[in-house]
Amino acid sequence: MHKSASGSTLGPGGLDLTQAFFKPIANADPPSTTKQHNKISVIGVGNVGMAIAQTILTQDLTDELVLVDTNADKLRGEMLDLQHAAAFLPRTKIHASTDSSITAGSDLCIVTAGARQIAGESRLNLLQRNLSLFRAIIPPLVRHSPATTLLIVSNPVDILTYVAWKLSGFPSNRVIGSGTNLDSSRFRFLIADHLDVNAQDVQAYIVGEHGDSSVALWSSISVGGVPVLSFLENQQIAYEKETLENIHKSVIDSAYEVIRLKGYTSWAIGYSVANLARSILRDQRKIHPVSVLAKGLYGIDGEVFLSLPAQLGRGGILGVTNIHLNPEETQRLVDSAKTILQVQTQLGI
Ligand SMILES: NC(=O)C1=CN([C@@H]2O[C@H](COP(=O)(O)OP(=O)(O)OC[C@H]3O[C@@H](n4cnc5c(N)ncnc54)[C@H](O)[C@@H]3O)[C@@H](O)[C@H]2O)C=CC1
Ligand SMILES: CC(=O)C(=O)O
């Protein structure tokens, strides 16, 4: 069987199976072409790439999903395994190739390729290994999809988002790092667990580096619309600063703990990135803490990408929220930027 020029399936002797299978409807208009066709490419089909791919499929976020990896057998195996679930999933065309030209015309390119941490290793330690991969991955990707939005996941995500921005030549609104969207989910889970409420009712952000210098924005946390710290203070209910510090420390330790226990993290980053893909492709205008070019914002100097609450839509980053930070939070955010810049300046990019 092969395809005709119009895309219908041809059987033996050139018989058009699509036409043979369906009776034509008299006086029918040709199929509408007004629907937006979405194409997402995922580069790197390891633990993280596949968790993202399968969440995108189950959540019906795209018409076409493309997988790219340098490991041809693993790549074809993953593609077939997903294709074999077609009877249980929304209809999505799934393709895979080691050749990045298959990504041509992507609306969103999600980059997860690269080395991951071993137990106890920091994200920043991965930089040299993943930098050389990015030099090979990003230029062809943007050549094939000049209007795409790049969503970077590989670590260290903030610096690699900067690298992708430089290598792509794209405007900064179309180069986004998954950043602390994941850390903020971990934060919301821990607060919800502490207060015995639903994590979806907790509004709370971790900003700054997706890593050890991240910053918890305690002053703006609310649960069900109630600002938590000012409520406790108004009610003269005592709380220990140490309890807050311990919750933030648990957020920072989360990835280290999961990596020590199972070798890698995957499910939460899969949901986190699919959540970002939905906001971008469906033009949701939702606010997510993601890695953005932060130069000139909140007293940050220098070309550095780190997470700030930003509005996401079809054009990528639509704007950065003007959230209130207290002086301590502002200082910690500036320090987080310096931590990233110290490593970044050694790159010579
Ligand atoms: N930003 C975040 O919140 C998170 C980031 N990560 C990062 O994601 C990255 C991937 O982690 P895992 O999937 O667990 O690693 P993995 O080792 O399971 O998969 C990496 C994949 O990249 C592929 N690859 C290597 N070079 C490539 C190239 N030039 N082109 C295409 N594919 C290539 C490998 O063949 C492999 O399949 C790591 O850098 C990890 O630290 C992981 C979890 C969360
Ligand atoms: C590995 C990593 O960056 C994470 O799970 O947060």
Query: Could you list the residue range(s) of the whole structural domain that residue 254 is in?
Result: 180-345
Q: State the distance from the centre of ligand 2 to the C-alpha of 260, rounded, in angstroms.
A: 12
78 and 199 belong to one structural domain:
no
Number of Cβ within 10 Å of residue 155's Cβ equals: 27
pTM for this predicted structure = 0.94
- Is 210 one of the catalytic residues? yes
173 and 184 belong to one structural domain:
no
Catalytic one of 210, 248, 288, 324: 210
- Token pair listed for 233: 């203070």
Q: Residue 219: exposed, middle, or buried by beta-carbon count in 10 A (0-12, 13-18, 19+)?
A: middle
Contact call for residues 333 and 207 (beta carbons, < 8 A): yes
Binding site, annotated residues for NAD(+): 44-49, 69, 130, 153-155
Q: What percent of the chain has pLDDT over 70?
A: 95
126 and 144 belong to one structural domain:
yes
| Complex prediction ipTM | 0.99
Q: What pLDDT score does 2 carry?
A: 65
Q: How many CA atoms lie within 13 A of 46 on its CB side?
A: 16
Contact call for residues 118 and 132 (beta carbons, < 8 A): no
Task: Identify the CATH number of the domain in which residue 297 sits.
Answer: 3.90.110.10
- Angle 1-31-277 (CA atoms, 0-180°, nearest 5)? 85
Q: Which residues of the chain have pLDDT under 70?
A: 1-11, 33-35
Number of compact structural domains in the chain:
2
Q: State the distance from the centre of ligand 1 to the C-alpha of 48, rounded, in angstroms.
A: 6
